[in-house]
């Protein structure tokens, strides 16, 4: 049994805050189902006020003899409670183990305990619950009949059944007989040995983990359940048989002593196969019969340990994430429509796992359309890999990922797994431009349109957009943020932070709710979690950071506001979606929230629509990569605005600043501000060409030189970093720098005595590495 951990009251807030407004429930009824309801330490704690002695359950179809089985029938949520006529339960006595006296009883779970899966809470409601405690090893078949009515008249009877297997625990040595190599079964033992799971108990009793006590045994061994009914060969049972007690002193020899003095008990220690797959006696005695062992792609397995707020919060955080309410439209168990196999590679844990195991083979995951939310097993390889030093969290796909258009990303760290799904669903923008007008596939076999879908990876990497032959700059996030997406979206949040369990961690969220009361009115405000941004960008309280006038209206607004203005401007230069058989679409001057393309649109509009949708669907409004988002929007605006003299700069921009496209100061390589920075770079950087200077972002230098992308500029223009700071007399100052976040800061030059005025330091940046600067002072 894995329980006895007190859950935080924050768990209730996580359950309540989950966003479901974007999901529409179909009029077609969801089919009723019989479910083995998991129960986690977080459930048992203050979340649902269950008695402290309540036993947890993994929701697996294979479980220890004497372990609890929480059963529930779930029916469509749109059925009125008054129309659920009855739910009756029974055990199929002809399919019970010999000498079993097990029976169904009332469930200890009350109405305040909701359905486990967040997505099921959207579509389903609990019609009835029951409870079973199998007392003999073997199979048990549970039968449930649910009758619903329309207008008070019973008209639907559904007979449901589920078979479970009760078994005893064997320990990892038995599993290794088949799963350690050879042709009998997959070799999961070897890779499991490299994971932290394989040594949690070992390091604990050896004193490597600091404060370690017997309270961790339910989490770090298999089959631990002190309930007197649960005698099934678990760790607690064998410990009692051999007389082992938890050591009073944690020392480096404890594990070795257990292995020699209590080998049968050591065989059941650490987190191992049967923790996740259920006890294996029937599977082993059945010569590997897979009907007698469980494989779950849901989050319930991991949550037996990782949903215990106060110490292990990963499962609790995940419950509040959008991953937990992934849509069903891509699976065979969805609410309406036919199964869409093209979606399961990202929208279900099982489909993604098959896709990662069979990269390049669509057929390998096309048939796995069983629904499962985007849970733990999608991002984490449950059996680990062979490089724990480089991948301590068992994250899938750490080496590289091929993005649309063939760009290979190799430096995203654990964020690599994110890029496998958070990217455009096509083979690149130019393939889409070729195929879409012809009605050919543009993404995973679908014709769709020139729109995008979860293209955050493309945006942050600055790829897969129409650049019109120009070099569009990118922000340093893709190189400066360790582990890319993970570095920001999984920021640490302290327990006393109002964002605790609402942002960061496995919620993946960058915003959280703050609830206040205005008189008698409850007000909920969404707050940006900017702590991780402040580390590089300095003081800020919003993602809408004020930087520069990107859209050229003379007003410097927040970056998100500026990007939104550019998006609005671009849509005014595009036609509406109204069909025209002649294909002569023209701009209508109207601001549009979305852009819906037609196959007979001219290429210039399709290209602009693609860029617009890339920025729109990314959703960050420039936060992920402001220079790139601004650059492709401005490039599209320039293309639709016209470039009569074909010099690469839009006529409107040259007219705005120089009065004429023929003015020699308006030439792409001219530098009218006298700073050596050409007009083409000022335009694509969103700068006024008549104002001297090139902006830096947070002290980061974008590159060693600025060179005309056309290759016509024979002179390289090298950038420099200027650090300026105000000083006080009597205080000493030291400039320091690093080339990557996480390094130790190094002094630049010697100590500088304060003068009471501003001090400036200029550092050349011709070396290829990036630089971050800071100034420390004494006192």
> What are the boundaries of each domain within the chain?
10-167, 180-286, 492-526, 719-779
pLDDT at 12 over 50: no
Q: What is the average per-residue pLDDT within 413-424?
A: 90
What percent of the chain lies above the pLDDT cut of 70? 86
Per-residue model confidence (pLDDT) at position 392: 75
Q: Considering only 44-48, 63-67, 268-272, 388-392, which range has the smallest mean pLDDT?
A: 388-392
> In the numeric block, which tokens belong to residue 6?
């007190």
User: Could you tell me which residue, 710 or 440, shows the higher pLDDT?
Assistant: 440
Q: What is the average per-residue pLDDT within 331-352?
A: 61
User: Could you tell me which residue, 627 or 330, shows the higher pLDDT?
Assistant: 627
- Rg of the chain on CA atoms, in Å: 31
Q: Which residues have CB under 8 Å from 106's CB, separation 6+?
A: 129, 130, 131
Res. 439 pLDDT band, cuts 50 70 90: confident
pLDDT at 545 over 80: yes
β-pairing, 511-518 vs 521-528, is: antiparallel
pTM score: 0.78
pLDDT at 151 over 80: no
Q: Which residues have CB under 8 Å from 578's CB, separation 6+?
A: none
Per-residue model confidence (pLDDT) at position 567: 95
Q: Considering only 214-228, 287-301, 360-374, 454-468, which range has the smallest mean pLDDT?
A: 360-374
DSSP, res 438: G
Question: Under a CB-based contact definition with an 8 Å cutoff, are residues 725 and 759 in contact?
Answer: yes
Per-residue model confidence (pLDDT) at position 411: 87
CA distance 720 to 704: 9
Per-residue model confidence (pLDDT) at position 145: 97
Mean residue pLDDT of the chain comes to 84
Q: Considering only 150-164, 205-219, 361-375, 604-618, which range has the smallest mean pLDDT?
A: 361-375
Q: Which helix (H) or strand (E) holds 71?
A: strand 69-76
User: Could you tell me which residue, 15 or 546, shows the higher pLDDT?
Assistant: 546
Q: Which helix (H) or strand (E) holds 480?
A: helix 477-480
pLDDT at 49 over 60: yes
> In the numeric block, which tokens belong to residue 563?
């990007």
Q: Considering only 146-160, 364-378, 505-519, 735-749, which range has the smallest mean pLDDT?
A: 364-378
Each residue of 88-117: pLDDT tens digit? 999 998 889 999 999 999 999 999 999 998
Q: Is 140 helix (H, G, I), strand (E, B) or coil?
A: strand
User: Could you tell me which residue, 360 or 30, shows the higher pLDDT?
Assistant: 30
Q: What is the average per-residue pLDDT within 396-414?
A: 86
Q: Considering only 78-92, 158-172, 350-364, 704-718, which range has the smallest mean pLDDT?
A: 704-718
**H-only helix segments in 7-133:** 10-17, 41-42, 118-123
Q: What is the average per-residue pLDDT within 213-242?
A: 95
> In the numeric block, which tokens belong to residue 22?
């974007």
Indicate the CATH number for domain 10-167: 2.60.40
Res. 644 pLDDT band, cuts 50 70 90: low
Q: What is the average per-residue pLDDT within 718-731?
A: 81
* 717, β-bridge pairs: 706
Per-residue model confidence (pLDDT) at position 368: 61
pLDDT at 467 over 80: yes
pLDDT at 142 over 90: yes
Q: What is the average per-residue pLDDT within 664-686?
A: 83
Identify which of 297-306, 537-546, 743-752 has the greatest average pLDDT.
Answer: 537-546
Beta strands in 414-548 (DSSP E): 511-518, 521-528
CA distance 729 to 755: 5
Res. 647 pLDDT band, cuts 50 70 90: confident
Per-residue model confidence (pLDDT) at position 470: 86
Q: What is the average per-residue pLDDT within 514-533?
A: 87
Q: Which helix (H) or strand (E) holds 548?
A: none
pLDDT at 677 over 90: no
User: Could you tell me which residue, 644 or 324, shows the higher pLDDT?
Assistant: 324
Each residue of 600-612: pLDDT tens digit? 999 999 999 999 9
Angle 651-658/626-641 helices, nearest 10 degrees? 100
Per-residue model confidence (pLDDT) at position 704: 36
Q: What is the average per-residue pLDDT within 731-756?
A: 84
Q: What is the average per-residue pLDDT within 409-426?
A: 89
Q: Considering only 14-23, 320-329, 407-416, 718-727, which range has the smallest mean pLDDT?
A: 14-23
pLDDT at 768 over 60: no
Q: What is the average per-residue pLDDT within 322-340?
A: 59
Per-residue model confidence (pLDDT) at position 293: 94
Per-residue model confidence (pLDDT) at position 699: 31
Per-residue model confidence (pLDDT) at position 650: 76
User: Could you tell me which residue, 22 or 481, shows the higher pLDDT?
Assistant: 481
Q: What is the average per-residue pLDDT within 620-649?
A: 86
Res. 206 pLDDT band, cuts 50 70 90: very high
CA distance 264 to 243: 12
pLDDT at 659 over 70: yes
Per-residue model confidence (pLDDT) at position 146: 96
Res. 7 pLDDT band, cuts 50 70 90: very low
pLDDT at 717 over 60: no
Per-residue model confidence (pLDDT) at position 667: 87
Per-residue model confidence (pLDDT) at position 336: 32
Closest CA to 116 of 72, 75, 80, 84: 72
């Amino acid at each position: 049994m894995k329980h006895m951990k007190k859950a935080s009251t924050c768990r209730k807030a996580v359950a309540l805050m989950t966003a479901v407004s974007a999901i529409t429930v179909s009029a077609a009824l969801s089919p009723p189902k019989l479910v083995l309801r998991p129960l986690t330490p977080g459930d048992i704690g203050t979340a649902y006020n269950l008695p402290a002695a309540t036993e947890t359950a993994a929701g697996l179809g294979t479980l220890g003899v004497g372990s609890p089985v929480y059963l529930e029938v779930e029916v469509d949520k749109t059925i009125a409670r008054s129309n659920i006529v009855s739910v009756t339960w029974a055990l199929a006595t002809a399919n019970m183990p010999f000498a079993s006296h097990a029976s169904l009883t009332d469930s200890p779970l009350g109405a305040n305990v909701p359905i486990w899966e967040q997505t099921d809470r959207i579509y389903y409601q609990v019609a009835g619950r029951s409870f079973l405690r199998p007392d003999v090893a073997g199979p048990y078949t549970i039968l449930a009949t649910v009758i619903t009515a329309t207008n008070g008249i019973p008209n639907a009877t559904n007979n449901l059944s589920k078979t479970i297997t009760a078994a005893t625990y064997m320990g990892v040595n038995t599993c290794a007989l088949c799963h350690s190599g050879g042709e009998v079964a997959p070799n999961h033992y070897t890779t499991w040995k490299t994971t932290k799971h394989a040594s949690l108990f070992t390091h604990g009793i050896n004193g490597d983990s600091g404060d370690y006590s017997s309270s961790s045994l339910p989490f770090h061994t298999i089959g631990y359940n002190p309930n007197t009914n649960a005698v099934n060969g678990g760790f607690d049972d064998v410990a009692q048989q051999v007389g082992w007690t938890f050591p009073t002193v944690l020392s480096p020899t404890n594990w070795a002593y257990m292995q020699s003095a209590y080998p049968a008990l050591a065989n059941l220690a650490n987190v191992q196969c049967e923790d996740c797959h259920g006890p294996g006696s029937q599977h082993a005695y059945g010569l590997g019969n897979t009907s007698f062992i469980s494989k779950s792609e849901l989050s319930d397995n991991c949550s037996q340990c990782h949903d215990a707020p106060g110490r292990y919060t990963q499962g609790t955080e995940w419950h509040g994430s959008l991953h937990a309410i992934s849509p069903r439209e891509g699976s065979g168990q969805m609410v309406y429509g036919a199964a869409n196999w093209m979606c399961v590679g990202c929208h279900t844990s099982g489909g993604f796992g098959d896709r990662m195991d069979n990269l390049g083979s669509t057929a390998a995951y096309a048939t796995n359309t069983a629904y499962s939310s985007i849970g733990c097993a999608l991002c984490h390889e449950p059996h680990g890999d062979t490089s724990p030093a480089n991948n301590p969290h068992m994250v899938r796909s750490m080496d590289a990922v091929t993005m649309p258009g063939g760009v290979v990303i190799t430096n995203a760290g654990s964020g690599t797994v994110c890029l496998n799904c958070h990217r455009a669903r096509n083979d690149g923008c130019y393939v889409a431009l070729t195929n879409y007008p012809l009605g050919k596939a543009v993404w995973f076999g679908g014709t769709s349109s020139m729109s995008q879908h979860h293209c955050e990876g493309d945006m942050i990497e600055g790829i897969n957009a129409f650049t019109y032959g120009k070099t569009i700059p990118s922000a340093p996030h893709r190189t400066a943020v360790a582990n890319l997406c993970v570095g920001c979206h999984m920021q640490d949040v302290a327990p006393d932070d109002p964002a605790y369990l609402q942002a960061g961690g496995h919620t993946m969220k960058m915003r959280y709710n703050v609830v206040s009361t205005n008189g008698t009115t409850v007000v909920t405000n969404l707050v940006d979690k900017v702590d991780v941004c402040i580390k590089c960008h300095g003081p800020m309280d919003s993602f809408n950071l004020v930087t520069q006038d990107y859209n050229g209206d003379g007003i410097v607004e927040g970056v998100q506001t500026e990007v939104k203005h550019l998006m609005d401007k671009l849509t005014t230069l595009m036609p509406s979606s109204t069909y025209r058989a002649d294909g002569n679409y023209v701009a209508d001057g109207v601001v549009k929230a979305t852009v819906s393309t037609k196959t007979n649109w001219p290429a210039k509009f399709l290209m602009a629509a693609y860029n617009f949708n890339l920025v729109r669907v990314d959703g960050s409004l420039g936060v992920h990569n402001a220079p790139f988002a601004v650059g492709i929007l401005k490039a599209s605006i320039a293309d639709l605005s016209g470039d009569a003299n074909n010099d690469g700069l839009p006529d409107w921009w040259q007219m705005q600043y120089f009065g004429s496209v023929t003015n020699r100061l308006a030439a792409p390589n001219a530098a009218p501000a006298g700073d050596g920075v050409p007009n083409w770079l000022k335009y694509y950087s969103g700068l006024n060409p008549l104002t001297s200077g090139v902006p830096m972002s947070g002290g980061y230098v974008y590159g060693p030189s600025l060179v005309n992308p056309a290759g016509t500029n024979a002179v390289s223009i090298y950038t420099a970093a200027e650090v300026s700071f105000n000083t006080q007399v009597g205080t000493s100052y030291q400039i320091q720098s690093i080339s990557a976040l996480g390094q130790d800061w190094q002094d630049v030059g010697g100590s500088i005595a304060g003068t009471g005025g501003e001090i400036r330091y200029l550092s050349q940046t011709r070396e290829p590495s990036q630089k971050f600067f800071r100034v420390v002072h004494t006192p």
